[in-house]
Structure 1
Amino acid sequence: MSLFKKPVKTAVKKIRHLRPPGAIKEMLFIGQCTRCGKCRDVCPVHAIKLAVGEEFIEAGRGTPIIFPQEVPCNLCMECIKVCPTHALKMVDKEKVKMGTASVDDGSCLNYGKGACQSCVNACPFPDKAVFIKDGIARINPEACTGCGLCVPACVGTPSAIIIMPKI
């Protein structure tokens, strides 16, 4: 355990990726995850990848991550069911907190017009997590799970939405 003290503290500062739903606190997650890949294997949409490469050396090489701009999480929760170490813990879908969406108003094609609702339509919690107010897409950080389904749904190029990982 003492081998992980310094790298884990560094990893928490540098984390720039999403963990699957139900992930425990990052410092504990890195120590508890055995890098077995079962969560990746069971993911029906192939959203979960294993961290490989030098950029993940401090964040826990081999641990599961999600890149919502590539493939978002559909919140099926299958990954939690197969985690042998409970590094992923069962949680209600509404209480999942992988991160929070953020809308770049300058890139949002809808800004001030109220015509596009792609992000709202893609959200598993429409009008709660993401909604249109005064013609502007808004995020409720309390309700947003960070699943990323809104990211590829955005018709802007590039997407006007990014997911900020929980830290």
Structure 2
Amino acid sequence: MQVNKDRRNTIIKALQGVGIFVFSGFLWSAYISKAKANGYALRPPGAKKESEFLKLCIKCGRCVTFCPYDTLKLAKIEDSIPLGTPYFTPREIPCYMCVDIPCVPVCPTNALDPALLSITENGKEMMNIRNAKMGVAIVDDKNCVAYWGIQCDACYRACPLIDEAIRLEYKHNDRTNKHSFLLPVVDSDICTGCGLCERACITDKAAIMVLPLDKVLGSVGTNYIKGWDKNDEKRLKKLDSSSAKASDIKNAIDYLNTESL
């Protein structure tokens, strides 16, 4: 009888262990799904698109180690970002746009891809931090004091690409009919998403924030074409034939190039 009792206890403990293992698996799966769905993470320079980045990143932390400003950190379980992946929070420590970009070449899997930052200069291929697309700065015009008429150019002055990524535009102040607004305007084509502007913002919660590109930028698709822009024609020619026929694209471009428009 004692043998049967011991056997029963062993089976019960084994089943309990399996139950805990399965339940833990469900919890971990739920965490991963939630973290991926959140997706609000600013990645280091040269990061591939988020889905590809998550496949390639092995969470080694080398980019974090080689960052001289301690900008980068690895996600913890409470961060709602896939665990162990590198990211940064501009309001705390922005990317300081290192010329040599030390975090990128040390990546062993090309999750941080030097090719995305490369330019050709004097016949040599080299990385240029200006090509980084970590995110894009967005101005909250309801809470930016410059839009109230109070002079502030903190974000503009902090921008490493001053008068390019952020410029100041004059606008007449209809309320006073005497003064002008000096409004910060971001060029999303040039902004690298470094976050120096967000760090410098004087409001309690930054009125200019860097967000991931896929969260704030739209996509035109194939319905509209800049017929006057050769680069836009190249964009359309690269599209899969399943989404747009080459003849349709050519007809649309020819139509937009007609003198009657």
TM-score (norm 2): 0.57
Matched-pair contact (CA < 8 Å) for 2:36–2:82: no
Give the one of 187, 191, 196 matched to 1:140. Answer: 187
Give the one of 98, 105, 108 matched to 1:81. Answer: 105
Matched, 1:69 2:116: no
State the Cα distance separating 1:61 from its structure 2 match: 0.8
Matched, 1:164 2:211: yes
CA distance in 2, matches of 1:65, 1:22: 12
CA distance in 2, matches of 1:12, 1:166: 16
Structure 2 match to 1:34: 58
Aligned-partner SS, 1:110: helix
CA distance in 2, matches of 1:11, 1:83: 22
CA distance in 2, matches of 1:9, 1:23: 21
Structure 2 match to 1:100: 136
Structure 1 match to 2:251: none
Aligned-partner SS, 2:147: coil
Q: How well do the aligned residues superpose, as a CA RMSD in angstroms?
A: 2.1
CA distance in 2, matches of 1:107, 1:113: 11
Matched-pair contact (CA < 8 Å) for 1:114–1:136: no
Taking structure 1 as reference, are residues 10 and 157 closer, same or farther at Cα in structure 2, changes over 3 Å only? closer
**Bigger radius of gyration among the two:** 2
State the Cα distance separating 1:114 from its structure 2 match: 7.2
Aligned-partner SS, 2:111: coil
CA distance in 2, matches of 1:113, 1:60: 41
State the Cα distance separating 1:14 from its structure 2 match: 2.3
Taking structure 1 as reference, are residues 157 and 54 closer, same or farther at Cα in structure 2, changes over 3 Å only? closer
TM-score (norm 1): 0.86
Aligned-partner SS, 2:103: helix
- After TM superposition, list the pairs within 5 Å mapping 1:15-26 onto structure 2: 15-26=39-50
AA at the equivalent of 2:146: N
CA distance in 1, matches of 2:150, 2:106: 42
Aligned-partner SS, 1:78: coil
Matched, 1:117 2:153: yes
Matched-pair contact (CA < 8 Å) for 1:114–1:132: no
CA distance in 1, matches of 2:41, 2:50: 11
Structure 1 match to 2:73: 49
Deviations 1:66-104 (A, max 9, x none): 111111011211100211111111212222111110111
CA distance in 2, matches of 1:106, 1:83: 40
CA distance in 1, matches of 2:32, 2:47: 15
Matched, 1:131 2:167: yes
CA distance in 2, matches of 1:145, 1:12: 23
Which of 1 and 2 has higher RCO (CA within 8 Å, sep 6+)?
1
Aligned-partner SS, 1:111: helix
CA distance in 2, matches of 1:12, 1:50: 15
Give ranges in structure 2 of 5+ residues lacking alignment: 1-30, 118-127, 171-181, 215-261
Matched-pair contact (CA < 8 Å) for 1:9–1:27: no
